[in-house]
Structure 1
Amino acid sequence: MVQEHEPGTPGEDTEPTATRRTADEAESSRASRGWWDRNADEYQEEHGAFLGDDRFIWGPEGLDEAEAGLLGPVEALKGRDVLEVGAGAAQCARWLGAQGARPVALDLSHRQLRHARRIDAAAAGAGASGAGDAAGVALVQADATALPFRDGSFDLACSAYGAVPFVAEPVRVMREVRRVLRPGGRWVFSVTHPIRWAFPDEPGPEGLSISASYFDRTPYVEQDESGRAVYVEHHRTLGDRVRDVVAGGFRLVDLVEPEWPAWNHQEWGGWSPLRGNLIPGTAIFVCERD
């Protein structure tokens, strides 16, 4: 799920301070769970209409899996076991279920998964079919670096801006995903395009001038008055991401950089038509295990 660096901490008088500093795996995980639990309501209210209740959107550009087919042909999803990592309210998993797949939606945030249950309950109450049945989407609260599944449990795994940008050791996520995939399984994930880290996170003209080194891998941290991290995001260069994929035991088969479509007039944090027509905002890695 995309975050736009405008966090608020309900109940606190002061806003977090943004900085660049180191943050280990434990601090990053703790900050991510807390941030999403506090901000899930606002996030779903602001972006829920764009994401839809049962659509698979890869990022702010609006690239739809129904058209992109990065997980494979839509008709081939039927009967496949699919894990969505960092699922938020499970919108992508819900779409997969409607195609006949057997999805499991995993997220670190309990509050995000509560929104998944809310959507399922509303769909069931409306008498929708497929993902809107009484059972809804299978939900699991867990950390992406320690997936609570047996080896070879899934045919496919996916993540739309979930988990990968927020962990200090992304290779751990790659290896865990590989472990739970069956041979030949595909793993597709999207993250903020690494080039964006060299520019201010602003949607207007001020976001078009380089303000930092692309090679500075120091994490972006928002911390409270005591110095406790309340939000952490980790920068990896494009080469780093490729090396993480390979170190995790995958073969990179495609790297997709979605162009900004003419129909999309929205601004989402630092994403906008202005910037999207000039520099990439999202990178999607399509990987396969042997």
Structure 2
Amino acid sequence: MTQDTNYDSFAEAYSAENETSLINGYYERPAMIKLAGDVRSRQILDAGCGSGPLAKALCDLGATVTGFDSSKAMIDLARKRLGEGAQLLVADLGQPLPFADDSFDDVVASLVFHYLEDWLGSLNEIRRVLRPGGRLIMSVNHPILYPWTNPGADYFKPTKYSDDHTFNGQLATLTYWHRPLQAMTEAFTKAGFQIEVVSEPPFSADAPAEIIPPQFEGRKSFLSFIFFVLRAQ
């Protein structure tokens, strides 16, 4: 995907953090797996697969998964996780995808689209490689986050912004695009998708108590991402 964030520089640290963190291991990834449902014998494209934790989980559930990411370091880590026979390649979601029309039953895009300024071109490419009636299952930064963390910001104005994060002890800067919910849904419909599910899920009940921040005690949910299941028309 065309983005300002260079994951090659902190791929191993991000991957290690992703395994067991509350926000990834016990919130985002379980929610994506639940939305995917029964994936036995389905051909799935993992767009922006990172080091492959979601792809591995879907393979374990019986799917055949092809993955791509713009970061070579992430693809190298994914290959170690999934094996040399895995269908993995370096590709950019912001460019034409190297797959034939109607190649996949589902596409999963986990925390990918919020790096992109233009959604429509990428959604059109995903629609092209999906079989008729196929699904796009995706998660992105919740649109309420940017105005929450930047008081006075205009919720309705698409805005590029950066946040500093620490992954497994390594500092990294991630650069995103904020867009309001209406802009998201308009892009979906223009690209030929029907919205089937909009989800703001709880985190997993399996999350260890020691990784739950004190402010979340007694709560089952928090807002960090928003999830969609879209059907190709």
TM-score by length of 1: 0.67
- 1:214 corresponding residue in structure 2: 155
Matching of residue 110 in structure 1 with residue 72 in structure 2: yes
1:200 to 138, 143, 149: 149
Instruction: Decide whether aligned partners of structure 1 residues 283 and 111 sit closer, same or farther in structure 2, where only a CA change above 3 A counts.
Output: same
Instruction: Decide whether aligned partners of structure 1 residues 120 and 81 sit closer, same or farther in structure 2, where only a CA change above 3 A counts.
Output: closer
Question: Partners in 1 of 2:32 and 2:137 — Cα distance?
Answer: 14
Look at both structures and tell me which one has the larger radius of gyration over its CA atoms: 1
Question: Partners in 1 of 2:27 and 2:115 — Cα distance?
Answer: 20
State the Cα distance separating 1:89 from its structure 2 match.
Answer: 0.9
Percent of pairs with identical residues: 28
Question: Given residue 255 of structure 1, which amino acid in structure 2 is its aligned partner?
Answer: V
1:39-77 CA distances to partner (integer Å, 9 max, x unpaired)? 1111112222349xxxxx977625625872x224x2xx2
Contact 1:214 1:237 in 2 (8 A): yes
Contact 2:30 2:204 in 1 (8 A): no
After TM superposition, list the pairs within 5 Å mapping 1:127-166 onto structure 2: 135=85, 137-145=86-94, 146-162=96-112, 164-166=113-115
Matching of residue 95 in structure 1 with residue 95 in structure 2: no
Contact 2:106 2:134 in 1 (8 A): yes
Question: Given residue 149 of structure 1, which amino acid in structure 2 is its aligned partner?
Answer: F
State the Cα distance separating 1:80 from its structure 2 match.
Answer: 1.4
- 2:42 corresponding residue in structure 1: 80
Residue 234 of structure 1: SS of its match in structure 2? strand
RMSD: 3.0
- 1:273 corresponding residue in structure 2: 216
Question: Partners in 1 of 2:120 and 2:18 — Cα distance?
Answer: 29
Matching of residue 38 in structure 1 with residue 9 in structure 2: yes
Question: Partners in 2 of 1:46 and 1:189 — Cα distance?
Answer: 21
- 1:168 corresponding residue in structure 2: 117
Question: Given residue 179 of structure 2, which amino acid in structure 1 is its aligned partner?
Answer: R
Question: Partners in 1 of 2:134 and 2:161 — Cα distance?
Answer: 32
Instruction: Decide whether aligned partners of structure 1 residues 261 and 213 sit closer, same or farther in structure 2, where only a CA change above 3 A counts.
Output: farther
Contact 1:63 1:258 in 2 (8 A): no
Question: Partners in 2 of 1:193 and 1:242 — Cα distance?
Answer: 13
Question: Given residue 61 of structure 1, which amino acid in structure 2 is its aligned partner?
Answer: Y
- 2:188 corresponding residue in structure 1: 245
Gaps of 5+ in 1: 1-27, 52-56, 122-133, 202-209, 223-229
State the Cα distance separating 1:168 from its structure 2 match.
Answer: 1.2
State the Cα distance separating 1:188 from its structure 2 match.
Answer: 0.7
State the Cα distance separating 1:175 from its structure 2 match.
Answer: 0.5
Instruction: Decide whether aligned partners of structure 1 residues 108 and 248 sit closer, same or farther in structure 2, where only a CA change above 3 A counts.
Output: same
1:92-119 CA distances to partner (integer Å, 9 max, x unpaired)? 1112222221110111100011111222
Question: Partners in 2 of 1:113 and 1:67 — Cα distance?
Answer: 21
1:64 to 27, 30, 39: 30
Question: Given residue 161 of structure 1, which amino acid in structure 2 is its aligned partner?
Answer: L
Q: In the comparison of the two structures, how many residue pairs are matched? A: 221
Gaps of 5+ in 2: 164-172
Question: Partners in 2 of 1:184 and 1:91 — Cα distance?
Answer: 26
Question: Given residue 87 of structure 2, which amino acid in structure 1 is its aligned partner?
Answer: A
Residue 10 of structure 2: SS of its match in structure 1? helix
